[in-house]
A and B are shown apart, each in its own frame.
Chain A
Amino acid sequence: MSKPVLLALPAVLLGAAAFAQADFSGEWAPLYHEDGPERLPGPELGDYTELPINDAARLRADSWDADRISVVEQYQCRPHGSDYSMRGLGNMRVWREIDPATQRLIAFHTHMLAWDSERTIYVDGRAHPAGYAPHTWQGFSTGVWEGNMLTITTTHLKENYIRRNGVPRSDQATVTEHWMRHGDYLTVVTVIDDPVFLTEPLVRSDNWYIDPGQHIGIFGCEHAPELPKPVGVVPHHLPGTNPYLREISEWYGIPYEATRGGAETLYPEYRQKLKDYKAPPKCDRYCTCTTLFDCQLR
């Protein structure tokens, strides 16, 4: 009688060990206490602060014309990449996929409000596809556990942006995420390595809280001609002609050089270069911006 119990015990313990890892399942709502103005109303044109971009990325962003997302029909319904989605531009649902035969975790799935984007994060040890395989907006993600933290590696991303003002992220980027759950809160630290546009990894963090009652609606998008432009027109600014690049400096009192981004501007030593900088006496643009409802221009 006692033998079967003894035999079953290791299996129970093994099962318990497998599920000691965090479960991210649930309905999550984003918190906007970090980078609110950039994430809610959207970034100002020419704002490259906090981005370790190279000259190529800077010129691509300088050339970017917001008309492109209207004139080029294929841009109208183009979703965020999975890295940018985690900036929390909509609520998120996470659920687990369990192998019915082994009861082991195969993957986490996510659904985002924005563009109904769905993503699979495999945790079953599978390899990433070959380089010639298709690239997608969500990319191909695999996760490994580091204690209770899930570290996710994403490749095979389509070209997209790291900021919604034209700062590009290439299809050669590798995105690493660290998902950490603390009770009802989820912290996601994202590290983007992009050999094409970044001189060092871009590290950002975002937070979410559990919101079991939330209902994620259908996003919906249908592209259509919006402006009578000839086929093939691609709106852009020729180098040196974008008239909007200094607005951020003028509106926020930030030295123009600092708005141009680059790894140097990320570190405390850069303050030495700005020793003559005087902060504006008061904030008068996006001064309160923590939810969609209190984020007023002035």
Chain B
Amino acid sequence: MKMNRLVAVLGLSALCVCAQDVRVLPVQGNISMLIGPGGNTTVQVGKEGIVVVDTQTAAAAPQVMAAIRNLSDKPIIWVINTSLDADHMGGNEALIRLGGSADASQRARVVVHENVLNRLVARGASQDRVSDAATVNDTYFRSPKDFLFNGEPVMVYHMPAAHTDGDSVVLFRRSDVLSVGDIFTPDKYPAIDLANGGSVQGLIDALNWILEMAVAGKYQEGGTQVIPGHGRLCDEADVVEFRDMVTIIRDRVQDMMKKGMTLAQVKAAKPSRDYDTQYSGSADAFVEAIYKSLAARKP
């Protein structure tokens, strides 16, 4: 009996720790950022309901929903996935089940760029992702897709061939917040998913686009807030550092390729070595993706 009670207490403690794993950070305007095990989720709340950008994983959905319920008791009406990654859309079904409306007319709309759905249902695609694909009911192919919700224009822009070829960036125009997914990860090397249509030039173009859209406050601080796919809340100045890093390493790899160096030689030269102490993730994989991406561009 005592042991059972101990197990029950331990189990409850574990649940409490999990529930605390999703933190809520008010950003500005109607926007909050949820920091959880699957990365970052952006939430807009208001009288009309809730917009969720990126749903993390199915396993994290109860904690994500509990965190959302700290912000609003309204139903989730819009879900936007910034890419096809499982840690960005794996929680769609569970989150809508937990927080969507029972009213069929208010069924949650799940927005992705059409390339996301095309890849998830392509011949040979992983069966593990069927349930994620099944949640999508609102694809777009002309950028931006926009709608007005809670009195705020929500603009969904397609970033072609960046982290993948189905990346979306969401601008909450009145709150002045950008939710940018894995195009920007301030303390981690970017994952350029070549197999899913990503490219280094597309990534740099997307980062430069974010810089054009963001307006910094006085002396390059504050202003437009940028919610990355993973990592801390940022602003334009933080994106500049990241863009510079990607651009400089790209330039170095490009220069080595012009000199005829092979992929193995480029990797051995460690063109990212002055950034490796700052950014987590595999430097080798990042350099390899740049090399292959640049090689694919050659005529």
Contact = CB atoms under 8 A, between A and B. Distances in A.
B66 interface: no
Given A78-B219, A234-B248, A132 B23 contact: yes
Given A232-B208, A234-B244, A56 B219 contact: no
Contacts of A115: 219
A136 B220 CA distance: 10
A63 B271 CA distance: 12
Contact of A134 (B212, B234, B273): B234
A117 B219 contact: yes
Contacts of B244: 68, 72, 234, 236
A117 B219 CA distance: 9
Interface of A: 54-60, 63, 68, 72, 74-75, 77-79, 115-117, 130-137, 158-159, 170-172, 195-197, 221, 231-232, 234, 236, 238-239
Interface of B: 23, 25, 33, 35, 187, 204-205, 208, 211-212, 216, 218-221, 225, 231-238, 240-241, 243-244, 247-248, 251-252, 255, 271, 273-278
A116 B23 contact: no
A135 B232 contact: yes
A266 B278 CA distance: 24
B234 A196 contact: no
Contacts of A197: 277
11 contacts: A56-B277, A68-B244, A130-B23, A137-B219, A158-B237, A170-B278, A197-B277, A232-B208, A232-B243, A234-B248, A236-B251
Given A63-B248, A238-B251, A133 B273 contact: no
A266 B35 CA distance: 42
A58 B274 CA distance: 8
B36 to A, nearest CB: 10
B27 to A, nearest CB: 9
- In the complex, the 3 A-B pairs of residues with the closest C-beta atoms, listed nearest first: A59-B274, A232-B208, A56-B274
A33 B121 CA distance: 69
Contacts of B23: 130, 132
Nearest to B240: A74
A74 B216 contact: yes
B219 A132 contact: no
Nearest to B276: A56
A132 B35 contact: yes
A77 B219 contact: yes
A231 B204 CA distance: 11
Given A56-B278, A63-B274, A159-B241, A134 B232 contact: yes
B212 A231 contact: yes
Nearest to A241: B255
B249 to A, nearest CB: 10
Nearest to B233: A134
Contact of A133 (B216, B233, B252, B274): B233
A180 to B, nearest CB: 29
A142 B240 CA distance: 28
B240 A72 contact: yes
A116 B240 contact: no
Nearest to B231: A132
Given A130-B25, A133-B233, 13 more contacts: A56-B274, A56-B277, A68-B244, A77-B220, A79-B219, A132-B23, A134-B225, A134-B232, A137-B219, A231-B212, A232-B204, A239-B252, A239-B271
